[in-house]
């Protein structure tokens, strides 16, 4: 998901947060890089959802050890 996805709360309510991963959309011209992570962290999501989207789901997707 992009850092400013305002529909993410609805998506999480309907589908959960266990398949979402974070993207800065860099180097596209409409990217929020280098502030993408800070923008994402301001979204009204639980700390658990933020951790899953920023790390846990990505680690599982790429089969990284925790």
Rounded to two decimals, the pTM is 0.88
Cα separation of 65 and 49, whole Å?
19
49: number of CA atoms within 13 Å, CB side? 18
> 40, exposed or middle or buried, with CB in 10 Å at 0-12, 13-18, 19+?
buried
| Token pair listed for 30 | 């409409």
Residue by residue, pLDDT tens for the chain (66 residues) are 999 898 999 999 999 999 999 999 899 998 999 999 999 999 999 999 999 999 999 999 999 965
Grouping H, G, I as helix, E, B as strand and the rest as coil, residue 1 is coil
Contacts of 49 (CB under 8 A, 6+ apart): 12, 17
């Amino acid at each position: 998901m992009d850092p400013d996805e305002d529909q993410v709360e609805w998506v999480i309510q309907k589908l959960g947060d266990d398949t979402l991963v974070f993207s800065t959309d860099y180097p596209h011209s409409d990217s929020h890089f280098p502030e993408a992570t800070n923008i994402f962290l301001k979204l009204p999501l639980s700390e658990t959802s933020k951790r899953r989207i920023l790390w846990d789901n990505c680690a599982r997707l790429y089969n990284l050890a925790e």
